[in-house]
């Protein structure tokens, strides 16, 4: 009977140790998952920031191109109008 009680005691200790180790494994897995999740989130945020910056640069380039094209059209009209006026003035002076 003493041997049976010792065996029960030993089995209980083994079960307790196994439960404790299982809890440790679960906690380690949770911590590892959190660290990995944070790493993935930071990577995603960095990628989003890069995409935003690329989009801003692209937009700036497009706006600059449009502004230059618009200014070019305006200048051409002004120059053409001025040149036309000057030619008419010279022609009128010659007459």
Domain ranges for the chain: 4-94
Q: Tokens in use for 51?
A: 């995409």
The pLDDT tens digits for 23-67 are 999 999 999 999 999 999 999 999 999 999 999 999 999 988 888
| 82 pLDDT above the threshold of 80 | no
Q: Percent of the chain scored above 90 by pLDDT?
A: 57
Position with higher pLDDT, 6 vs 1? 6
Q: Is the pTM of this model over 0.75?
A: no
Q: Residue 1: which pLDDT band, with cuts at 50, 70 and 90?
A: low
Q: Is 80 exposed, middle or buried (0-12, 13-18, 19+ CB in 10 A)?
A: exposed
Mean residue pLDDT of the chain comes to: 89
Helix (H) or strand (E) segment spanning residue 95: none
């Amino acid at each position: 009977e003493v041997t049976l009680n010792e065996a029960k005691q030993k089995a209980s200790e083994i079960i307790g140790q196994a439960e404790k180790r299982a809890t440790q494994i679960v906690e380690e897995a949770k911590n590892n998952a959190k660290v990995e999740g944070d790493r993935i989130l930071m990577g995603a945020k960095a990628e989003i920031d890069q995409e935003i910056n690329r989009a801003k640069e692209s937009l700036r380039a497009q706006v600059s191109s449009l502004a230059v094209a618009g200014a070019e059209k305006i200048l051409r009209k002004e120059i053409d109008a001025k040149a036309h006026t000057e030619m008419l003035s010279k022609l009128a002076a010659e007459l």
